[in-house]
Amino acid sequence: MKIGLIDTMFARINMGKIAEETIKEIAPEIELEKITVPGIKDLAVQVRILLEDKNCDIVLALGMPGKEAIDSQCAHEASLGIIYAQVLAKKPALGIFVFENEAKNDEGLKQIVFNRVKKHSINAVWMIKNPEELSKRAGTGERQGFENVGGID
């Protein structure tokens, strides 16, 4: 099994490293392929390359959009590209973005980043090793970056 990790120079926290450490801890047998690109709009093509040509079973596409309106538009374009790349490759990728304006200060931002990247790294491992872990949490209000909100049924 192999997981691809793509992060950016633009991000202000080394997201790829968090993902790498999390996966190595919980599933050391999984092979990793890491790559860094300039920014989030450069993720989509690498998603397809890693899934189709580098034999990855799943990819984490990691980024931290800035707080301006143009950054929000970039994130939208990047997300559509990541979805598009998966659909063409017929293998999954998780687009994991933390927006700079999700927190009030650097400390808060760090907490969100660590929480979201760790949880999604676990999700990725589950998706290729133990999909039943996701099934048993269907509709339970799982959140990445924050506390789970829980189900209402």
Report 129-148 residues binding a copy of itself (CB under 8 A): 131, 134-135, 137-144
Pick one of 14, 33, 115, 129: the residue that binds a copy of itself (CB under 8 A): 14
Q: Which residues pair with 7 in a beta bridge?
A: 36
For a copy of itself, the closer of residues 29 and 138 by Cβ is 138
Q: Does position 85 bind a copy of itself by CB under 8 A?
A: yes
d(C-alpha 98, C-alpha 108), whole Å: 11
Of 31 and 84, CB closest to a copy of itself: 84
Nearer to a copy of itself, 28 or 139 (CB): 139
Q: Which of 10, 30, 33, 115 binds a copy of itself (CB under 8 A)?
A: 10
Both tokens of 135, joined, read 């099934």
DSSP 31-55: EEEEEEESSGGGHHHHHHHHHHTS-
Give, as ranges, the residues between 102 and 131 that touch a copy of itself (CB under 8 A): 106, 109-110, 120, 123, 127, 131
Burial status of residue 149 (CB atoms within 10 A of its CB: 0-12, 13-18, 19 or more): exposed
Query: Residue 1 or 134: which CB sits closer to a copy of itself?
Result: 134
Regarding 73 and contact with a copy of itself (CB under 8 A), the answer is yes
- Residue numbers 41-70 binding a copy of itself by CB under 8 A: 41-42, 44-46, 48-49, 52-53, 64, 70
